[in-house]
Structure 1
């Protein structure tokens, strides 16, 4: 699928440095929302409604098409990886796009899923299938709400090969979730994060302009300051100190940061601090005052106010929800 660049052809893409990306990737948190194996036979279509989360689709076996209503179809061959924006419906077909006719609708004739109804298998047609994908939905965030794929409106397509072994990571993640053993969510998230890291590694060596659609890659100067925030959320950051880190004036930094992250630097910093606090709460080895201090707060009242604003509850309620399994803190 061709991607259209908005940059002038004589302007090379400028990316964050490897050191800055290492700092960002170290703190990227991933949560698996849903993961299924999708199987399609020739002459059938598997229609999928996209939820409010980015999708990841990796083709394991066969050749076919991922078809959208208002966008160009994407050709599938083994080891094609596609990141699909949230709320984007699509269909999987073995035949060429439209070959089944405009009025054909395929239901999932057989579906085997876990009790949670989020992990398992969806089939369209009779075996043996000619097209097999692992399809999932996920969150890849910094802090409490800064999404790696925020602003993504068109799919990202990248062709890997067998030596990259992305299929191993995704199969193991699905197996973990189906087994429903202790720590299955954490294991699946760690495996999916491997796939995200592989995709970002590929972006550093790619001449394709889709890399500009990663919020952390679209503005290297802002990314430099954000990497400082991510690495040291409890430090005494100010808008002025962050602007200096980015090499920009205060007003330009504020404007460009908001353009990339859709929030102010201080709001993003609060999210990062609260995410750190949430992880320390779950670990259960520090006092509330120590957690507040580590997050950059010198008094408990300000910390409690910020925590409730981000998570909608007090720290004790948050920890109880995690202990019950109602909340999941990613890796």
Structure 2
């Protein structure tokens, strides 16, 4: 099940103002460009959660998470846990903290300490609670570590992978004001009722988005989730696409925006973001089109033109390839009131 979250202009504007204030007033032109791009990114963060589950571990248990492409996120609800990748990186997390585990490697979770351990995979000892909330239990005895976890794949405007530079578990305090969200999740996992999964997922998305916002706000975008945005030249090119996805963009115009030669820009962009500039441009355009299909009654031809496609047929083919449905069926499924 996919969940799209759009941060509104008020939230984004507030972040930009707070960042400017933290920098002591007026920003350099380079810093202002980056803040404006981060503002755009916040508006278009797309958070997708899959396989939401509760994990409960006894002191003698080790829970094994098989390797998968997407990242895994845990929200600590009770106790203190140790997450370790098969590559050797490890992290301690506590109740009220979020830990993001990069994809591509097997991970284990246990309570810190010595003594004999029983290993089990996430599918052993699993059961469905009320309303389809999956629960994994491992070990004998009382629960000493409890998390809510999900496979998560955020992206920038449907185009950039936030976690591609993450190589070790990242532990992040949830920050002030989010204790009620953790308490809500804890209550729903203790006594799940009707709509429990929906409530838990909503709380998870809120906490995760605010964690991402914190990384966006770090001076110089120092956080590992945003390593790809450290080059101000690439930031200018990404910003040009995000601000006007339907504009006339080519590798040459984007290279000029970045102040780089065409071949150097193309190589640097592909190496940094794992895709060509044109591939990223198309993903952003299609993401913007999907949003317009959901929230406006504009004809498909008009939407296609507004996001930079010369013909409806070309747009429809590209949209179907990206979303699995043609634009009309996508609108009928996700925004029937617009049909």
Q: Which has the higher contact order (CA 8 A, sep 6+)?
A: 1
Task: Identify if the C-alpha distance between structure 1 residues 293 and 206 changes in structure 2 by more than 3 Å, giving closer, same or farther.
Answer: closer
Aligned equivalents of 1:54, 1:83: Cα separation in 2: 7
Task: Identify if the C-alpha distance between structure 1 residues 138 and 207 changes in structure 2 by more than 3 Å, giving closer, same or farther.
Answer: same
2:320: which partner in 1? 308
Aligned equivalents of 1:38, 1:167: Cα separation in 2: 20
Task: Identify if the C-alpha distance between structure 1 residues 212 and 138 changes in structure 2 by more than 3 Å, giving closer, same or farther.
Answer: closer
- Asked if structure 2 preserves the Cα contact closer than 8 Å seen for 1:31 and 1:140, the reply is yes
Q: 1:100 aligns with which of 81, 104, 116?
A: 116
2:23: which partner in 1? none
Aligned equivalents of 1:131, 1:23: Cα separation in 2: 38
Q: 2:84 aligns with which of 67, 73, 86?
A: 67
- Asked if structure 2 preserves the Cα contact closer than 8 Å seen for 1:233 and 1:272, the reply is yes
Aligned equivalents of 2:287, 2:211: Cα separation in 1: 24
- Asked if structure 1 preserves the Cα contact closer than 8 Å seen for 2:127 and 2:135, the reply is yes
Quote the offset at 1:323 in angstroms. Answer: 6.5
1:36: which partner in 2? 53
Q: Does 1:46 align with 2:58?
A: no
Across the two proteins, how many residue pairs are aligned to each other?
Answer: 303
Structure 2 runs not aligned, ≥5 long: 1-29
- Asked if structure 1 preserves the Cα contact closer than 8 Å seen for 2:295 and 2:335, the reply is no
1:292: which partner in 2? 304
Q: 2:178 aligns with which of 165, 180, 193?
A: 165
Residues 165-213 of structure 1: per-residue CA shift (max 9 Å, x gap): 267169559959x7675x949x94685155233244246447996x245
Aligned equivalents of 2:160, 2:175: Cα separation in 1: 32
Residues 248-307 of structure 1: per-residue CA shift (max 9 Å, x gap): 232222111111222211111111111111222233511111111221123223322332
Aligned equivalents of 1:223, 1:170: Cα separation in 2: 38
Task: Identify if the C-alpha distance between structure 1 residues 61 and 172 changes in structure 2 by more than 3 Å, giving closer, same or farther.
Answer: closer
Secondary structure in structure 1 of the residue aligned to 2:119: coil
Aligned equivalents of 1:32, 1:180: Cα separation in 2: 20
- Asked if structure 2 preserves the Cα contact closer than 8 Å seen for 1:219 and 1:260, the reply is no
User: Is the helix fraction higher in 1 or 2?
Assistant: 2
Q: Does 1:196 align with 2:204?
A: no
Q: Does 1:22 align with 2:39?
A: yes
- Asked if structure 1 preserves the Cα contact closer than 8 Å seen for 2:57 and 2:145, the reply is yes
Structure 1 runs not aligned, ≥5 long: 1-13, 325-331
Q: Does 1:241 align with 2:253?
A: yes
1:278: which partner in 2? 290
Aligned equivalents of 2:183, 2:66: Cα separation in 1: 21
Task: Identify if the C-alpha distance between structure 1 residues 212 and 64 changes in structure 2 by more than 3 Å, giving closer, same or farther.
Answer: closer
TM-score, length of structure 1 as denominator length: 0.76
Q: 2:232 aligns with which of 212, 220, 238?
A: 220
Residues 207-227 of structure 1: per-residue CA shift (max 9 Å, x gap): 996x24535434332123213
Task: Identify if the C-alpha distance between structure 1 residues 269 and 88 changes in structure 2 by more than 3 Å, giving closer, same or farther.
Answer: same
TM-score, length of structure 2 as denominator length: 0.74
Quote the offset at 1:17 in angstroms. Answer: 2.8
- Asked if structure 2 preserves the Cα contact closer than 8 Å seen for 1:25 and 1:197, the reply is no
RMSD: 3.7
Q: 1:135 aligns with which of 149, 153, 160?
A: 149
Aligned equivalents of 1:62, 1:194: Cα separation in 2: 19
Task: Identify if the C-alpha distance between structure 1 residues 310 and 21 changes in structure 2 by more than 3 Å, giving closer, same or farther.
Answer: same
Task: Identify if the C-alpha distance between structure 1 residues 168 and 312 changes in structure 2 by more than 3 Å, giving closer, same or farther.
Answer: closer
Aligned equivalents of 1:207, 1:265: Cα separation in 2: 23
